[in-house]
Each structure stands twice: as C-alpha cells, then as structure tokens.
Amino acid sequence: MTKNIARARSLHAPVDRSDARRRVRFATLAALFSLFALYVAWYESHRPKVQRNDELPIAQAHADDASQSADATASPAASDLVKRGEYLARVGDCAACHTADKTRPFAGGLAIDTRFGTIVTPNITPDPDTGIGQWTDEDFLRAMHEGIGKSGERLYPTFPYVEYTKVAEHDVLAIRAYLNTLAPIHYTPRPNSLKFPFNQRWLMVFWNMFNFTEERFVPDPRQSAEWNRGAYLVEGLAHCEECHTPRNFTRGLKSDSRLSGAVQAGWHAYNITPDKKSGVGTWSDDELQTYLSTGAVPGRAKAAGPMAAVVASSTRYLTREDLRSIVQYLRSVPPVSGGETRARHQRGLAAQPVAAVTNHVTRSFGKPQSTVSADQLARLRTQQ
C-alpha cells in the first residue's frame, strides 16, 4: 500500500511541477504586461503638455525680420487667412500625398508601400461623411501635433506628424481654413493593408516613445530671423528630414545623421548638409535656390522621382524669401561626410546631388527635363 502511494506520487510529481511552471510563467507574463500597461498609462498622462500659444508662425510670405513675424501672429481677415493657408499647404506639400487622382484633389487614395504593408492616404476635403468635414479645429490640431485622429486612433508616421508637431497653432489653423474652402468630395479611399502586428494602431504608442516628441518650434535668439524662419520650415512644415535623414531600426529618424541622405522607395535622397565632398557644400546659394524653385541647375542637377514631385507641387511655389531662409539654415547644419552621397554620371560628371535620375525615369521620360509638367508628375506617381 505504501509502495503504491509512493509510486503514485512519483508518477504525478512531474505533472504537478510542469503545471506549476506554466502557472508561474503565465503569472510572470501577466505581471509584466500589467506593469507595462501601467507604464504606458503613466506616460500618456504625465508627458509634458505643449503650450498652444506659439510665437513663430511662418506668418506673411514676405516677412523677413522678427518684428514682422511677431506682427503676423495677429488674426488676419478670413480671406487673408485662407490665402495664407493655401500657401502653407503648398509648403507642406499636402496635395502630393492626399491626391491619387487629379480629378479628386485632396480626396486621398494614394497607396504608399512600406516594408510593413500598404498605407492609403485619407480624404482631407471638407466632405462630412468621407472627409474631415466634421472635424473640429481641436481635432485637426491634435492630428497635426500629436499624430492622433478624430476618434482617438493613432496615426501612422507616414503622415509626418513628427515634423508637423513643430508648426505653430495658428499656421495649422490657417491650413485648416484653406482646406475648408475646398470642394467636398464624397470618396472613401480603400483601407490600409498592413501585416500583423503593424495593423494594430495602438502599438504606435511604443514607437512614439522612442521616435517622437510633441513640441513646437522655439526660435534660437542667437540666430537671425531669416535663419529661424528657415529652421522653422525645414524642421517643421516642409519635413525635409522625412526623405533626407536615414532611419534607425525602428524606422525613426537618426538624429545624429540629420539630412545626410537616405534611400526612400528605391530613390536616393542625397546628402544636403554643407559637406563639400558628400553634400552640397560646393553649391552656391543661388544654385540651391534655383534648384528648389525650378528643379534644375545647368551643369549641376536635374530633379527626378520624388524630388521632382516635390518641386512641381511644393518648392516652386515658395517665395524667394522663404527659399533664401531655407538655404541659410541648410548652410548651418553640421556637415556629414558619407551617407547617401552624390550620384556620379557614368562619364564622371557630377550629377544629381539632391535627387537621383535612374533608369526608371529615363525609360519613362527619356532625358530628364528642367521642369515637371502635371502629366509627368501624374505618371511618376503611378509608377513609383
């Protein structure tokens, strides 16, 4: 009898220990998850709140000193607000991403392929059912500054809220005022197609912890008004780093390699720091301004691919004052050697230091042109 009991205990003991180990593992995982959830809740409730009374908008298109920028913070007439919002929407290149079909401007539907799947841009016309017609100003500000949609959903950083967070509140609201004047288009873009777990928007909370800081642009009092204006544009609304700064393993921006170039969607966005070998340090100010306004500098470069699209829909509309400010700021960023350096023509001539001309474009258009037509831009978008 005693032997049978002992044998029974010996037979069941391993099972009991296995069950115990499973219970311990489960309890440990549950505890870790609970602690992590508590940390996320604490992070969300205790992160610094940003003041909404910003001091430096883009302001008037021709503002070139601090006093003019300060004066521009006053509320303009409605028509002036809309006009300024239209200009700012050009600076931010809103139409490029939110227009898949030129017959439906700003109605979204552009498919952006990523390594995690496809993200489709939303309709930002004032249509109340399929666009942002029912959004409040606060909803719009939250999306631009925090990367959070109307229903509280996390936005994916293909929408560059990482940079837009620096844009002054009244500039964001000027863009909003302009968008409200657009013809409402009743159109629902197809849904995103992302792999699990990347289709879980709440996971962006963790990405934001490492790659995003909600903050407005703060002018550097040691620098001129023109420099600060350029910094405000480059770091914020123009979101230059989205293409010209390399990514880390989480696909966030590498802050120690700012503007040193990267590969985006199979295209080279080249080093635009003032490094003389790898960047644009040998370019004159006039050449850089001409490139941004026309897409071509004889003997230097001709824009193609995504950069051609940027010139066609954004930078060619910028005022000379803004272009000059951008160039002044780019001259001051730390030069970075290496990175995505200048492409070289097969004969050894300096080619596209800012945007590459590849066989993809050559097959489509033949020899690249100095300007990009609307039809060429549409073809570029469909072939990328």
Q: pLDDT tens across 135-163, in order?
A: 999 999 999 999 999 999 999 999 999 99
Q: Quick one: pLDDT at residue 301?
A: 85
Q: Quick one: pLDDT at residue 366?
A: 29
Place of tokens 């005693």: 2
Residue 106 has pLDDT above 60, yes or no: yes
Query: Whole-angstrom Cα distance, residue 368 to residue 348?
Result: 18
The alpha-helical segments, DSSP class H, found in the chain are 2-46, 66-71, 78-91, 94-98, 137-146, 161-164, 169-180, 204-211, 225-232, 241-244, 285-294, 305-313, 320-332, 359-365, 374-383
Q: pLDDT tens across 18-60, in order?
A: 666 666 565 555 555 555 544 544 444 444 444 444 434 444 3
Pairing of strands 117-120, 193-194: antiparallel
- Give the contacts of 146 (CB within 8 A, at least 6 positions apart): 161, 165, 214
The tokens for 358 are 């590849």
**Averaged pLDDT for residues 316-323:** 95
Q: Quick one: pLDDT at residue 26?
A: 56
The pTM assigned to this predicted structure is 0.71
Residue 361 has pLDDT above 60, yes or no: no
Query: Whole-angstrom Cα distance, residue 113 to residue 129?
Result: 26
**Averaged pLDDT for residues 222-239:** 95
**Averaged pLDDT for residues 339-349:** 43
The residue ranking higher by pLDDT, 199 or 111, is 111
Beta bridge partners of 120: 111
Q: Can you state the angle between helices 320-332 and 225-232, rounded to 10 degrees?
A: 90
Q: Quick one: pLDDT at residue 249?
A: 80
Lowest mean pLDDT among 34-43, 186-195, 229-238, 337-346: 34-43
Q: Quick one: pLDDT at residue 21?
A: 63
Q: Quick one: pLDDT at residue 198?
A: 81
Q: Quick one: pLDDT at residue 248?
A: 80
Query: Whole-angstrom Cα distance, residue 377 to residue 312?
Result: 7
For residue 197, cis peptide bond before it (omega within 30 degrees of 0): yes
Signed CA dihedral, 265, 166, 191, 109: sign only: negative
Residue 109 has pLDDT above 60, yes or no: yes
